[in-house]
A and B are shown apart, each in its own frame.
Chain A
Amino acid sequence: MDLPGIGLFRMISQQLHWLGQRQEVLSQNVANADTPGYQARDLQPLAFGDALQQAALRPAVTHTGHLLGKTADPAAAKVKTITPWEVSPDGNGVVLEQQMTQLAETQADYQMATELYRKQIAMLKTAIGSNRT
């Protein structure tokens, strides 16, 4: 079964991937919260429209020799410097409160994405008729 071939699954995977990368960037910020001159960073938001188009467009297979090919791994999202709420005298631009807010946001989004994934699987199981658990 080609789960990534189903648009929704692919988009959820992308979202999870993006959130994972964001978590990594946030942890770098928090670890360097006391490093002089360090600027807080964040990822460029996931372009939902692009992901949607990508999810809808599939090459047609008219011959058994045609290969669908792997969809490109969502390229590493771009990292950008953010405007911090304040910059401390030593030039450090990490505000822990700001980071914690973003952390909570990431957590909630991740939870939503995994729950959607789970529901989608449940729907497929219903269709198959094996959802007796």
Chain B
Amino acid sequence: MNDMLKSMSVAASGLQAQGTRLRVISENLANANSTSEVPGGDPYRRKTVTFAAELDKAIGAEEVKVRKVGTDNAPFREIYEPSHPAADANGHVKLPNVNMLIELADMREAQRSYEANLQMIDQSRSMLMRTIDLLRS
């Protein structure tokens, strides 16, 4: 495998990792108001993604992998709403520890990284084509 193909494959791993990140972000956003089904129970807990560099032995380059989809241990928000089905004995309802602003910022960062990887593929491809074009001269 030549350097250009390797570089494209590494960038593709980046695309995939950022894709997973975006999926988790959308899970968080979609469940920003998911409460528990039982009274006094815990609501949806925010998920987090961590990356790790991993050496792909087949091509000898460090790709990026999603290391773990973990959970955020931040405390839940609580509101007083006795009529809510998930309210506990005191009338408190636990809401997910999802902060829209953080998710949106995270989303934007994922988008930037995705774009950077895309551009990398684009450029490697054009360099490859340039080399092939030498045959035409």
Q: How many residues of B contact A (CB 8 A)?
A: 37
State whether the Cβ of B6 lies closer than 8 Å to any Cβ in chain A.
Answer: yes
Question: Is the pair A35, B52 in contact by a Cβ cutoff of 8 Å?
Answer: yes
Interface residues of A toward B: which range? 20 to 34
Question: Is the pair B2, A34 in contact by a Cβ cutoff of 8 Å?
Answer: no
Question: Is the pair A38, B7 in contact by a Cβ cutoff of 8 Å?
Answer: no
Report the Cα distance A111→B52, complex, angstroms. 33
Q: A114-B131, A118-B134 are in contact. Are A23 and B124 (CB under 8 A)?
A: yes
Determine the residue in chain B with the shortest Cβ distance to A92: B51
State whether the Cβ of A100 lies closer than 8 Å to any Cβ in chain B.
Answer: yes
Within 8 A of B (CB), among A78-133: 96, 99-100, 103, 106-107, 110-111, 114, 117-118, 121-122
Task: Report how many A-B pairs have Cβ atoms within 8 Å.
Answer: 101
Q: In the assembled complex, how far is the CB of residue A118 from the closest CB belonging to chain B, in whole angstroms?
A: 5
Question: Is the pair A33, B116 in contact by a Cβ cutoff of 8 Å?
Answer: yes
**Interface on chain A toward B: helix, strand, loop, or mixed SS?**
helix
Q: Which of A19, A28, A100 has the most CB of B within 10 A?
A: A28
Residues on the A chain within 8 Å of B62, using CB? 28, 31-32
Question: Is the pair A24, B6 in contact by a Cβ cutoff of 8 Å?
Answer: yes
State whether the Cβ of B64 lies closer than 8 Å to any Cβ in chain A.
Answer: yes
Question: Is the pair A35, B120 in contact by a Cβ cutoff of 8 Å?
Answer: no
State whether the Cβ of B26 lies closer than 8 Å to any Cβ in chain A.
Answer: no
Residues on the A chain within 8 Å of B11, using CB? 27, 30-31
Instruction: Pick the contact of B8: A17, A27, A122 (CB < 8 A).
Output: A27
Determine the residue in chain B with the shortest Cβ distance to A99: B116
Determine the residue in chain A with the shortest Cβ distance to B56: A28
Report the Cα distance A36→B6, complex, angstroms. 23
Residues on the A chain within 8 Å of B79, using CB? none
Since A17-B3, A32-B62 are in contact, a sample of 10 more A-B pairs with Cβ atoms closer than 8 Å, ordered by chain A residue number, is: A19-B127, A20-B2, A27-B10, A27-B61, A27-B120, A31-B117, A34-B17, A34-B64, A34-B113, A99-B116
